């Protein structure tokens, strides 16, 4: 992704960046993140792979004349790169559900049949980089159901089936 800003001054231009929410000003130069080009009177600033934290005010300065623009970078919504698979588990065993998000900074919500699941003795929630997982421990027939991982922007589903000998004497 690239962000491009242009101006057409009559003489040389200085580009200044001020981070949103701070008072630090920084003169911009071409480098691995910024490319500043000039064709005739047109100056172009290109920011490579901007992230939300790159939001700032960019000021084009020609002699004593200044023109500022505010750059706001919106992050793409998270999606699933790998969805949940249906799983068959055994009584008294363990079930692991795994999926992968498009970015590491997500806050997934795990549900079983619509009920939110939280980490504890029964469930272990995994989140390493973009990999997400749910471990169901000490599986019983009550663990059969529809499981979902919700990123807030997308949903992945898994049907869990439990096999084995069910002890109905209680």
Class of residue 59 by CB neighbours under 10 A (exposed 0-12, middle 13-18, buried 19+)? middle
Residue 106 token pair: 């997500």
pLDDT at 13 > cutoff 70: no
pLDDT band at 26 (very low <50, low <70, confident <90, very high): confident
Which CATH superfamily hosts domain 80-163? Immunoglobulins (2.60.40.10)
More confident residue, 157 or 44: 157
pLDDT band at 166 (very low <50, low <70, confident <90, very high): low
pLDDT at 74 > cutoff 90: no
pLDDT at 75 > cutoff 90: no
Average pLDDT over residues 143-159: 96
- At the top level of CATH, the class of 2-71 is mainly beta
Indicate where the chain has its CATH 2.60.40.10 domain(s).
2-71, 80-163
pTM, 2 dp = 0.63
């Amino acid at each position: 992704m690239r962000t491009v800003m242009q101006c057409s001054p009559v003489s040389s231009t200085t580009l200044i960046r001020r981070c949103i929410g701070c008072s630090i000003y920084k003169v911009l130069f071409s480098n691995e993140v910024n490319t500043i080009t000039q064709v005739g009177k047109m100056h172009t600033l290109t920011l490579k792979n901007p992230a939300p934290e790159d939001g700032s005010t960019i000021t084009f300065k020609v002699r004593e004349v200044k023109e500022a623009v505010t750059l706001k970078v919106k992050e793409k919504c998270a999606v699933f790169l790998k969805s949940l698979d249906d799983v068959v588990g055994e009584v008294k065993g363990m079930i692991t559900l795994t999926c992968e998000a498009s970015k590491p900074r997500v806050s997934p919500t795990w549900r079983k049949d619509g009920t939110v699941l939280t980490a504890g003795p029964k469930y272990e929630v995994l989140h390493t980089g973009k990999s997400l997982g749910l471990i169901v421990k000490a599986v019983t027939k009550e663990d059969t159901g529809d499981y979902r991982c919700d990123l807030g922007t997308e949903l992945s589903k898994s049907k869990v089936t439990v096999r084995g000998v069910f002890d109905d004497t209680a």
